[in-house]
Structures are given as C-alpha cells and as structure tokens.
Structure 1
Amino acid sequence: MTAVGRALYRVRGPLYYAAALVLISGVVWGLLVDEGPADRVRRALMGIALVVGVGCALLAWLGPRLLVEQSPRRVRAPVWGRWVAVNSPASAVPSHGVRAYGQAYAIDLVFDPPERPRPAFGGPRAMPPASDYPALGEPVHAMIDGVVVRASDWRRDHRARANTAGLAYMIAEGMLREIGGPGFIVGNHVTIRGDDGVYALVAHLQQDSVTVRRGERVIAGQQIGRCGNSGNTSEPHVHAQLMDRASLWTAQGVPLAFAGIHTSGASEPFDGVPANEEYLLAR
C-alpha cells in the first residue's frame, strides 16, 4: 500500500489538473445539453472528477509522510559572488511552501553585491524594470556533471514586482501561469541529468541566454546561461533544485548541499545551504 500511495502522490498534480478540466468542461457541457442520457454521463464524470480532486488534495496533505528521507546531495553552487538566500530548505521544507514541481528543497538566490545593492521591496513603483536589479545577466553555472535533458530560453523577462501592489499582481498572474503548466512557472531553465540519476534544474534564466543544448554533456561550474526574470518571479534571481526525474509534473525534490561556500558571519567554508536572508559567498 505504501508503494501505491507514493505512486499516487507522485502523479497528484496531473490528476488534479485533469479533474479540474473535467469539472469545468462539465459545467459548460451542462449549459449546452438538455436532460437525458448525455446529461447523466456528464453528472457521473463530474462526480468522479470531484472525488479525484478531493483525493489529490488529501494526498498533497498526507503524502509527504510516505516519502523516504534522503541525505543531501553535494553540488556546486550555480552562482559566484555575494548572493542572498530568500527561500531556502535550511529554514523550511518545503522551501517554497509546496512540493509540486520537485520544489521541496529548492533555493532562491538573489545577487546583492556591496557596490550595487538591489532595490528594497516596497518602493513607489509596483513594476520597475528588471534591469534595475544587479542579478539580471549574471552568469549561471551547472551544479553537477551530466547531460542536458532540457534547455529553454524563449520566454521573455518581465518587469519586477517590487511592492505590495506588484506582489498582488504576481499572485493573480501566477494562477494563470499554473494553467499553462510548470514551464510557465519556472520560466527559462536548464535541466541536467547527473551520472547518479539525480536531476539538477536552474530556472528563471534570461531570454536567449542559454549556452547549452539538449544532449550536450556539461561539467559542474560550466556556464549554462544567465540570470533573468522569466516565469513566476518577483525579481531577477536564480532558482536551483535537485529532483529525482526530469518531468516537473511528477518529480520529487532531492535535498541539496552546496560544496565549498562561505556564508556571512562564517570564517571557514562549509558544505550546506544558507538559511533565508543569509549570504552565500561562492567562487
């Protein structure tokens, strides 16, 4: 039963979307079809979809108890310089509030060099240009040795969401992005399959910045793109995560630890992930 539960938990996302589509279609169908055999079929399908949807919601709540605990995989930091962690598994798991799309142990990194601090949240402009942020265009590197299985950089870099009004817009926009699937959430991205079968993803890359192609072999530390503001983002940053398969629909997150980095207040390198609002210093 545990194996079945894990399998269902893995596909909860696609099942939930399918159930939602059936329910919406059923409502529209009901406006067009009169009472009769076809209407009974519609009601039956909507009943099944409702049960499936509720089941998926329960799986999302109870499913993590079925997962096997894993040790962190040590990888190279995808960025160099002074970056601050704004969402980190060192502070909470799941780090982004959800486990969907393999994000359970994901980390967000924002470039914040002393000579050009990033704009503070809460300014007068709701959506300033992404170019106001020093992270835009910064090199992004492969975290592991492996083969590129996905490389996408056609999505545009949108403006930042820099105050409460901008953030409210981003939340509403994010709901629409969800309809398009995970690609519209992570934006431009590169996924690499490591030699041990673990997949490393870096996301929100700059449009037309990806330097590798599907099937190409890369080594840890190799530049694969540049930091952008594509996908569901409030400002230019790098989203990094490990997962157990390439498909964001069914992937489960894998814990990660950065090798050979410093954090603010630490005098010695350590292997780990900085907590939220802690600086990562890598080279």
Structure 2
Amino acid sequence: MKSKGLRLSYLILLCCFVFLSRSTAQDVPAKNRSKPFSFPLQLEMRVPFGPTAFPNGSNFYLIYELYLTNFGTSPIHLQRMELLNEDRSGNAPFLSFDSLELKSMVKILGNNNLKDALNIEAGHSAVVYIEAKTSNKTGFPNNIIHRIITSADSLDGAAINTHTTKIQTLKPPVSGSDWIAADGPGNSIDNHHRRGNIILGGHIVNSRRFAIDWKKVRDSVSFSGDAANVHSYFCYGEKIFAVADGIITSATDGLPDNIPGHGKAFHPTVPLTFEKLPGNNIVIDLGDGHYAHYMHMQQGSLHVKKGDRVRKGQLLGNIGNSGDAREPHLHFEVTTSAKLLYGEGIPYIIDHYRLGYQNGFDEVHLNELPKEKQIVDFGNARER
C-alpha cells in the first residue's frame, strides 16, 4: 500500500510540473521568446579570379565574375548587391546594384530565362557578371567585400583585391583609323566575349574577358559590296603589329579564309576543332606571365615563327578570316596562359589613341584601355 501511495504522489507532482511549465510558457510575452536556431544564409559566394582596375576616360573599371551557389533547401530571391570597402568596418557601400540592374547581370546556370534571373533554386548556381565603375579621382578601395541582399536575409562575403595582376602598357596591335572595339571590355548582355566562361582542366576560366574583335567601320558598317567576299571588308588584309617586345611562343599558319557569314550562313572552310578555333594565330610571351594572342590571321601572311624575338611595332602578319571567324577581324586578347582559352583574360592599357565621334577624332587618350563599341584612331602604330 505504501508503494502505491508513493507512485500516486509522484504522478500528482509530475502533472503539476507539466501544468506549471505550460502555464509559464504561455505567460512569457511573444517578444521575449527565443527564436528557433537557424544557420546563416546558405549561399556560397566566390570570385574565381580577382579583378584589376583599369582606366578609360574619366573612370576606373573593374570587370569580373561573382559565383553564387544555393546550399540551402529553399529558393533564394536576389534583391540587391552592394560593394563595400573591406578595410572600413561599418561603412556604407560605395556602389550598389538594384534588382533591375541585377537582372541583366545574373545568369542562372542551366537556365536562359531572364525572368528567372534573380531566383536561385536550392542546389543551383548563378554567375553575376560585374562591371564596377568609379571616378578616377577617387579610385577603388584596395580590398572589396560583397553584400548580397535577398528577400529574407543578407550576407557579406567573397573579399577580393582590386589589383590582382600587373597592368602592362602596350602598343596598338593595328594602325590607322575607323577601328571599332567590337565586343570589347564591357558588360553588355550580348557581348559574347564577356560571357565566355568555359570549363577547361576542371576549372572555370574566361580568357576572353578583355578580348576585342578589331574591325574597321565606315558609316556604322564593316564592309562595302558583296558581303560574302572577304575583300569587301574594310579591315581585311590590314597589317598586324607586335604590341611589345617578347618571344613568339607559337605561330600557326596554313588555314584558309572562311566565306563571310553569320548565324546559319556561317560555314567554316575547314571543319572546326578546338585547336583550329583561332585560325592562323600568333602568341607572344610578354613577360610576367602575360601572353598576347592574335587570332584569325590571313593564310601565308605570318612574318614570324615560334622562338623568334620580336620588338614592339614589328610587323607580324595581316588580318584574315580563318578559324572560328564569321567575318574578317583581328581577335586580340591578353591572358595568363600561352594555351588557347586556358588563361584568364586580364586588362592592359594602350599607350596612345584617339576616340572618334561623329564630328571626327578629337579626344586623345593616353595609357587607357578602349571599351566595347568605342571607335578608335591609332594613327601610325609603328612610329610611336
């Protein structure tokens, strides 16, 4: 009987404890209750290759990519991105991009629908193509950190330096006037160089980040006459020059010109392979791990061979339409590798050029890099 009484007393005490616990929890004001534990925003942020600021006109620019991966279980809706000086805690952002701007900057991998550009589903990734601009009077901070603001949270991360590589001063690769920097450095959504990311050797690279397709234009067109004839194009056969002293690491010749044609009208004369994409081409070792690539040259026009030492302004060959070229032009880029497409595209500056407007060439630029669609007059590249 005594044992049953003890058990009964224990049950009565337990019921009282549960009752009091529930009553106490209900009596705690909602504002004082602790929130359930949750991890920070599960968004990976990384910049595979850091940028280097370069000048153009009255501004400095940074062009690079920020990769985002959603490691959470719910979609992430991007609303805003801010750039902050990492060396100043608690400061306001010096540059920000709203949702409208982000829409043209973000590419969801595997999804080309622009309407979904700001929604990163769980387990999915996106690339943010960034072009940051600031006055050359203020410049960029040495170190930048990114802030991603979503519909539910925000996250700071992906710290970068704004001077990753050395800026080399080069001579122009061509001479004369009426040159357009087609698909040059910029952030237009239809710029095929800007969004030229590919996987090689298991790594993401973009050798074409600062590539320029140099074409000649007159009255906004690049040819006169028969569009299917390479000789109708104003730049066809134009001379190509060494942009600096260096050593020829490769020189490929022997590929014929294509018949010009875009879209479905493009039929390469020789079936394209990875190695034949640049057509007849030259690579110059500029030193400091930088390499100048000249592509789509005219068959039989090369004046140099592998191992030759060249001087800046030296004649290398002529513009053609070989390889993966739809119309005659010089594809020029500086990268971190002598191998085709394996290097990272890096900025450089050209020692002297003039910018053309409708009223003529009237603005001198010293030690700057032309941007996409600018019309350039290089004068006589060999005399400077």
TM over 0.5, shorter chain: yes
Structure 1 residues 249 and 133: alpha-carbon distance in aligned structure 2, compared to 1, 3 A threshold: closer
Report what 2:8 is aligned to.
none
Kindly indicate which of the two structures has a greater share of residues assigned to helix. Answer: 1
State yes or no: 1:73 paired with 2:178: no
* Aligned partner of residue 220 in structure 1, secondary structure: coil
State yes or no: 1:106 paired with 2:228: no
Structure 1 residues 219 and 169: alpha-carbon distance in aligned structure 2, compared to 1, 3 A threshold: same
Where structure 1 has 5 or more consecutive residues not aligned to the other structure, the ranges are 8-53
Question: Does the CA-based 8 Å contact 1:99-1:252 persist in structure 2?
Answer: no
Report what 1:272 is aligned to.
368
State yes or no: 1:154 paired with 2:254: yes
Question: Does the CA-based 8 Å contact 2:217-2:223 persist in structure 1?
Answer: no
Instruction: Name the CA distance, whole Å, in 2 between partners of 1:99 and 1:66.
Output: 21
Structure 1 residues 94 and 159: alpha-carbon distance in aligned structure 2, compared to 1, 3 A threshold: closer
Report what 1:222 is aligned to.
314
Structure 1 residues 254 and 94: alpha-carbon distance in aligned structure 2, compared to 1, 3 A threshold: farther
1:256: how far off? Answer: 2.1
Residue among 345, 360, 369 paired with 1:253:
345
Residue among 210, 214, 222 paired with 1:118:
222
Instruction: Name the CA distance, whole Å, in 1 between partners of 2:341 and 2:350.
Output: 25
* Aligned partner of residue 103 in structure 1, secondary structure: coil
1:271: how far off? Answer: 2.4
1:259: how far off? Answer: 1.5
Query: Which piece of structure 1 moves more, 184-193 or 257-266?
Result: 257-266
1:184: how far off? Answer: 2.0
State yes or no: 1:128 paired with 2:128: no
Instruction: Name the CA distance, whole Å, in 2 between partners of 1:169 and 1:141.
Output: 31
1:76: how far off? Answer: 1.2
Instruction: Name the CA distance, whole Å, in 2 between partners of 1:160 and 1:189.
Output: 18
Per-residue displacement from partner, 1:204-260 (whole Å, max 9, x unpaired)?
100111100100000111110100001112211111100111112521111122221
User: Map of 1:174-193 to 2, 5 A cutoff?
Assistant: 177=272, 180-181=273-274, 183-193=275-285
Instruction: Name the CA distance, whole Å, in 2 between partners of 1:98 and 1:196.
Output: 24
Structure 1 residues 232 and 195: alpha-carbon distance in aligned structure 2, compared to 1, 3 A threshold: same
1:67: how far off? Answer: 8.3
TM-score, length of structure 2 as denominator length: 0.49
4+ residue runs over 3 A deviation: 58-72, 90-96
Structure 1 residues 96 and 207: alpha-carbon distance in aligned structure 2, compared to 1, 3 A threshold: farther
Question: Does the CA-based 8 Å contact 1:94-1:104 persist in structure 2?
Answer: no
Identity of aligned residues (%): 24
1:147: how far off? Answer: 0.2
Q: Which has the larger radius of gyration?
A: 2
Q: Which has the higher contact order (CA 8 A, sep 6+)?
A: 1
1:102: how far off? Answer: 1.5
Structure 1 residues 236 and 94: alpha-carbon distance in aligned structure 2, compared to 1, 3 A threshold: closer
After superposition, the CA RMSD in angstroms is 3.4
Per-residue displacement from partner, 1:128-147 (whole Å, max 9, x unpaired)?
11111121111000112110
Instruction: Name the CA distance, whole Å, in 1 between partners of 2:126 and 2:339.
Output: 18
Report what 1:144 is aligned to.
244
Count, aligned residues: 217
Question: Does the CA-based 8 Å contact 2:185-2:210 persist in structure 1?
Answer: yes
Report what 2:25 is aligned to.
none
Q: For residue 168 of structure 2, what is the amino acid of its counterpart? A: R
Residue among 290, 294, 298 paired with 1:206:
298
Instruction: Name the CA distance, whole Å, in 2 between partners of 1:89 and 1:76.
Output: 17
Kindly indicate which of the two structures has a greater share of residues assigned to strand. Answer: 2
* Aligned partner of residue 160 in structure 1, secondary structure: coil
Instruction: Name the CA distance, whole Å, in 2 between partners of 1:167 and 1:135.
Output: 21
Instruction: Name the CA distance, whole Å, in 2 between partners of 1:206 and 1:154.
Output: 9
